[in-house]
Chains A and B, each alone.
Chain A
């Protein structure tokens, strides 16, 4: 497949995708477009672990206080697991890139590094999650929480992200 040498200024650029399992280990990483610093796999592992920790901390910082859910904060009732779950980092903005984080219900985190002004990252993320469920979770040879090595997932990601941008 043709690889763009430089991200065209008008195209929508997705730099990279990282998948972090619920224990904080990096189970998938893929660079789609150059533009960010090349990181060794060791650095990427450190980065994934750091982000996992920071994500947990940001869930605990809650300046707004818990929202007033009807019956949700009643001390006489047992805690309802569906009532209120604070989310950690969803979007991180910096001058050169934007990091979108999506956490699944089971705790797997998808990190998408894009250009700062990129629109519709949510839909891109949703589509990637669909690809993940189709080609990784439905793969009978894949062990959950282990590094993802599914050729079909790679190819479909390439097809989706690169054609879209």
Chain B
């Protein structure tokens, strides 16, 4: 199981947190879980290897657009109680979890991973709520990602992902 990236979108459809893991672990000695970047507002130059010039922000926007359209489509076909879980292409799989407050948690992994809805739920309940929402210094909304990428959340996310994806 390889994990590529993780995104959080708030209810104003803004990307408030991104995290990417090293791409294409070199086959044999896979110590793949090496975090590369912090939060979205440290506007990185998006050194996306092996692809055209799509920056990190563009990637987040594309993913949000996809997820938003698919969620609406799925609701229209299957009724209001229907929830969008994931989709898979030949190259990757996207897992989706939406909280009642319309925060969207998205994770991109390789195609062989099982559904990660529970993992995303745990990230929300055990990490986001604990370290971001309950943080007295963090604002209620997070425009531009302010207050999300604090040290406790980063560390908690890192160790949690390592425990879920041992490699």
Contact = CB atoms under 8 A, between A and B. Distances in A.
Interface of A: 36-37, 39, 43, 47, 50-51, 53-54, 57-66, 73, 86-97, 113
A1 B24 CA distance: 53
Contact of A63 (B23, B65, B90): B23
A88 B89 contact: yes
A14 to B, nearest CB: 14
Given A63-B23, A64-B92, A92 B87 contact: yes
18 contacts: A39-B77, A50-B69, A50-B73, A54-B65, A57-B62, A58-B94, A62-B50, A62-B91, A63-B108, A65-B48, A66-B50, A88-B89, A90-B88, A90-B90, A92-B84, A93-B85, A95-B83, A113-B77
Interface of B: 2, 4-5, 20, 23-24, 48-51, 54, 59, 62-63, 65-66, 69-70, 72-74, 76-79, 81-92, 94, 108, 110, 115
Contacts of B70: 54, 92
A23 B23 CA distance: 33
Given A47-B76, A58-B87, A63 B82 contact: no
A37 B87 contact: no
A64 B4 contact: yes
B71 to A, nearest CB: 9
Given A37-B79, A89-B88, A95-B83, 11 more contacts: A54-B65, A54-B66, A61-B59, A62-B92, A64-B4, A87-B90, A88-B89, A90-B87, A95-B81, A95-B82, A96-B82
Nearest to A59: B89
A50 B88 CA distance: 17
A117 B37 CA distance: 37
Contacts of A89: 87-89
A163 to B, nearest CB: 25
B73 A51 contact: yes
Nearest to A95: B83
Contacts of A43: 76
A45 to B, nearest CB: 12
A101 B84 CA distance: 16
A51 B4 CA distance: 24
Given A90-B88, A94-B85, A96-B79, A61 B62 contact: yes
B87 A91 contact: yes
B18 to A, nearest CB: 11
B49 A65 contact: yes
Contacts of A59: 89
Contact of A93 (B63, B81, B87): B87
Given A90-B90, A91-B87, A95-B83, A65 B76 contact: no
